[in-house]
């Protein structure tokens, strides 16, 4: 537990120098922990400490059926000896639970970590933060510590502020994928004023700006809006081919929901002349590799090319 939550730093790996001497490095947050990888470790760290401080015996959180945050919370709970409860979008998943579990690598993994599930309808899921719904959850599960969907709150942002090291101040750009914007806010809070944080949203919508500003007063950031590939968890063959080619060239696995879109976007921006000559970019590999198996199942059903997976166990 102590060791699990100890300060961690991940290496920067040089990837490529493009024409014009633009250099790309990847911060390997995916290597932080085999099961609680990347930014999900950062987001859970201070929340776990707080849950213990408050003497809570369980963590309760929310997510979709393939959520990295659900998988990471389940694993972190198992490692640190606190019970976990996952409130999952989609009541149909609970109907034939044993069978659905076999078909869903994320839930199967979370279940193996001891996570309890509550499957709720999409409309209930939208209401999950209301006092009424919270009251119902309290009656069912007792005095839990609650983490929001995606895991972002002030303590999560504090954890994400530990992603960057002092040495990272030399980079001109720090680039990351954005879901809730919590990771981006943490990066912003430790960035140098001369640096620019580029956020690549993994979904459509314009709520991210508000989220980032809720957790950071800094203004040295920019959203790059056109690399979500149609929306959250949407993929196409161009993206899948890029991820497979990147894996072949650099022996680094990217995920299709966040980091694949991020790195694809950076390569495309370089091509389009977005970066001045001599620029250095540090992209954050936020992990998320557990999501590959789920996407591959979907691609297989549609008879589309799949992601070659370096880590079949994940
Ligand atoms: C959850 C996740 C993100 C998004 O992080 P936010 O803090 O919600 O913006 C990015 N990358 C990966 C791999 C993730 O699992």
Does residue 176 sit in the same domain as residue 285? yes
Do 104 and 147 lie in one domain? The reply is: yes
72 in the same domain as 23 = no
Q: From the CB of 106, is ligand 1 less than 6 Å away? A: no
**Residues 116 and 241 reside in one and the same domain:** no
pLDDT of residue 199: 98
Q: What is the pLDDT of residue 100?
A: 85
Q: 68-77, 280-289, 299-308 — which is least confidently predicted? A: 299-308
* Locus of tokens 């959520």: 67
Q: Is pLDDT above 50 for 313?
A: no
314 located within any domain: no
Encode pLDDT of 214-266 as tens digits. 999 999 999 999 999 999 999 999 999 999 999 999 999 999 999 999 999 99
Q: How confident is the model at residue 99 (pLDDT cuts 50, 70, 90)?
A: confident
**How close is the Cα of 174 to the center of ligand 1, in Å?**
15
Residue of 30, 163, 189, 288 to test ligand 1 pocket, by largest number of atoms within 8 Å of CB: 288
In a domain, 309, yes or no: no
**Residue 313 neighbours by CB under 8 Å, 6+ apart:** none
Nearest CA to ligand 1 atom 10: 177
Distance of CA 12 from the midpoint of ligand 1 (Å): 19
Query: 151, 185, 207: which is the final residue of a domain?
Result: 151
- Averaged pLDDT for residues 201-211: 91
Kindly report the number of other CB atoms within 10 A of residue 192's CB atom.
15
Q: Helix 208-215 and helix 182-190: axis angle, to 10°?
A: 40
Range of the domain at 131: 40-151
In-domain check, residue 72: yes
Cα 41 to the chain's mean position, in Å? 9
Does the C-beta of 255 come closer than 6 Å to ligand 1? yes
- Domain-located, residue 302: no
76 and 19 within one domain:
no
Q: In total, how many domains does the chain have? A: 2
Is residue 170, in this structure, part of any structural domain at all?
yes
Domain assignment present for residue 312? The answer is no
Question: Atom 4 in ligand 1: which residue has the minimum CA distance?
Answer: 179
Instruction: Take residue 176 and report the two structure tokens written for it.
Output: 């990351």
- What confidence score (pLDDT) does residue 291 get? 93
- Per mean pLDDT, which range of 9-13, 62-66, 78-82, 203-207 is the poorest? 203-207
Residue 91 lies in a domain: yes
Task: Identify whether residues 242 and 198 lie together within a single domain.
Answer: yes
pLDDT of 23 higher than 90:
yes
Same-domain pairing of 133 and 211: no
Q: What's the pLDDT at 67?
A: 96
Distance CA 248, CA 242 (A): 10
* Average model confidence (pLDDT) across the chain: 95
Q: In the prediction, which pLDDT does 310 show?
A: 62
Indicate if the alpha-carbon torsion angle 237, 203, 262, 64 is positive or negative. Answer: negative
Residues 30 and 103 occupy one common structural domain? no
Q: Is the model's pTM score more than 0.85?
A: yes
Percent of the chain clearing pLDDT 90 (strictly above): 92
21 and 89 assigned to the same domain: no
Residue 30: CB within 6 Å of ligand 1? no
Q: How far is the CA of 59 from the centre of ligand 1 (A)?
A: 19
Identify the CATH number of the domain in which residue 95 sits: 3.40.50.1100
């Amino acid at each position: 537990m102590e060791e699990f939550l100890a300060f961690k730093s991940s290496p920067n790996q040089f990837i490529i120098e493009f024409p014009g001497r633009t250099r790309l490095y990847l911060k390997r947050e995916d290597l932080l922990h085999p099961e609680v990888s990347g930014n999900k470790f950062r987001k859970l760290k201070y929340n776990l400490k707080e849950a213990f401080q408050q003497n809570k015996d369980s963590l309760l959180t929310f997510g979709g059926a393939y959520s990295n945050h659900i998988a990471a919370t389940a694993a972190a709970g198992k490692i640190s000896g606190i019970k976990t409860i996952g409130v999952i979008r989609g009541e149909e998943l609970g109907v034939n639970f044993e069978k659905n579990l076999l078909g869903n690598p994320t839930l199967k993994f979370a279940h193996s970590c001891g996570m309890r599930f509550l499957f709720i309808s999409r409309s209930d899921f939208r209401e999950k933060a209301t006092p009424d719904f919270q009251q119902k959850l309290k009656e069912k599960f007792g005095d839990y510590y609650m983490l929001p969907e995606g895991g972002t709150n002030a303590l999560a942002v504090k954890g994400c502020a530990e992603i960057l090291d002092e040495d990272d101040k030399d980079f001109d750009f720090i680039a990351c994928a954005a879901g809730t914007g919590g990771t981006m806010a943490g990066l912003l809070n430790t960035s140098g004023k001369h640096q620019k944080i580029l956020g690549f949203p993994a979904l459509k919508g314009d709520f991210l700006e508000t989220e980032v500003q809720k957790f950071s007063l800094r203004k040295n950031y920019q959203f790059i809006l056109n690399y979500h590939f149609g929306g959250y968890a949407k993929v196409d063959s161009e993206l899948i081919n890029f991820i497979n080619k990147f894996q072949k060239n650099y022996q680094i696995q990217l995920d299709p929901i966040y980091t694949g879109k991020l790195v694809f976007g950076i390569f495309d921006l370089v091509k389009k002349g977005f970066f001045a000559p001599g620029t250095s970019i540090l992209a954050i590999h936020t992990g998320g590799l557990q999501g590959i198996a789920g996407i591959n199942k979907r691609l297989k059903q549609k008879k589309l090319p799949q992601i070659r997976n370096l880590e079949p166990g994940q």
